[in-house]
Structure 1
Amino acid sequence: MRDPERHPGTPVLKTMVGLPEIAANIRKVMDSGPHHYGDRTRGSALTRSTDPNNERDNRNAACPASRKRPAGKSCDEYPFARTNQGAAKSERRDWGWAWVPVSEQRQQGGRVSAFYQTQRVLDGDRFWVEVP
């Protein structure tokens, strides 16, 4: 078990409240992976990546364009594509994806971007994710 007090200044993303399907996907992946990425009580912190190639590779690995999208749904991957722990960078047991409502996906993108900005999470910075 990791001790969150070891990194008391590490920011925590808490804004997935109100996004029930995304929160459920995050929790499922956190619970199943050996590294429990983003779970500050027992896992390893995520680190932000601003490299567009890394983001593209992570999205393509978790949510390839060849996967047919159901109407009104979007492919949600965790860990986030803009991290160094995304699907292209991690072993399969440490990442996952789910179909979520497009409306939730759009809100999530804005919430994560706002978190990065307000908490000054820069390239390579560590952060945690808290889901309800």
Structure 2
Amino acid sequence: MAPLSSWKLGESFFDTTATRAGAIGRCATTWTLSVANATYGTSKSSVTLNEFRCDNATGGRPTVGCVVPWYAAPLIYSKSRAPQLASHITRAQRSGLPGATFKSPLTRTTNAATMKRNRDLACPRDESRPQGKSCDEYPLATSKEGLSAGGKRRSFPGCSIPGVPSRTGAKGASACMISTSDQNYQGGMNSSFYKAERMLDGDPYRVLIGD
């Protein structure tokens, strides 16, 4: 390449045909490079970047969009807006439950039976709730790492769930009674996040606590 040791720059663009309702497709960009040398002849090589997934399957707006599906996007809850929720998740993750890092993310599930079982195991319906509070489970019921995946139930001091110990380890789920306003905030955040990040079944994501 001339001049010697210089960069050659270029751009490529993609468009998706996954536009019908429910469609999901992969999008790849391929570069074909030809290097000519009078002494050695022409050398060709191809590089394909298969990084993107495009879909019209999230129900969000815009209806068609693309993401890098292996990237574990962060679902960030505000500690100032939902302090009881933030406290529970912080303690749950510190006890060893996954979701805080790229190395150990949560995995989205859209299976209704799995989500119901996660909720029922972590927060049994016949368990009493203090007035103005709701049972929060972690990992999220909308993840494949919930209690339906195995392990035991755990809780923490101040969570108003007597008889459930503060266990440690990556398996299982934590439950804690938190204010209904924190719980409602979480539900809205989850719904917006899944649509905005185009999270489909099997996609990784992280759960973080912000200001």
For the criterion TM > 0.5, the same-fold answer is: yes
Q: Report the equivalent of 2:122.
A: 62
Evaluate the alpha carbon distance shift between residue 23 and residue 90 of structure 1 in structure 2; reply closer, same or farther with a 3 A threshold: farther
Aligned pair partner of 1:14 in 76, 79, 94:
76
Give 1:90 shift.
3.4
1:1-132 matched pairs, under 5 angstroms:
9-17=71-79, 18-33=81-96, 36-40=97-101, 44-92=104-152, 93=169, 94=171, 95-132=173-210
Q: CA RMSD in A?
A: 1.8
Q: Which digits, 9 at most, give the CA deviation of each residue in 1:59-96, with x for residues without a partner?
A: 01000011011110000000000110012213224420
Instruction: Measure, in 2, the Cα distance between the counterparts of 1:124 and 1:103.
Output: 29
Give 1:14 shift.
1.1
If asked which structure has higher relative contact order (CA below 8 Å, sep 6+), I would say 1
Instruction: Measure, in 2, the Cα distance between the counterparts of 1:125 and 1:87.
Output: 18
* Structure of greater Rg: 2
SS at structure 1 position matched to 2:148: coil
**Structure 2: gaps (5+ residues):** 1-68, 153-168
SS at structure 2 position matched to 1:67: coil
**Would you identify which runs of 4 or more consecutive aligned residues in structure 1 move more than 4 Å?**
none
**Structure 1: gaps (5+ residues):** 1-6
Number of equivalent positions: 123
Q: Which digits, 9 at most, give the CA deviation of each residue in 1:8-67, with x for residues without a partner?
A: 83211113442111111111110112xx311117x5110000001001100010000110
Select the structure that is richer in strand: 2
For 1:67, give the aligned amino acid: E
Q: Report the equivalent of 1:3.
A: none
Q: Which digits, 9 at most, give the CA deviation of each residue in 1:94-130, with x for residues without a partner?
A: 4201110011101100101100100111111000111
Instruction: Measure, in 1, the Cα distance between the counterparts of 2:71 and 2:205.
Output: 9
For 2:71, give the aligned amino acid: G
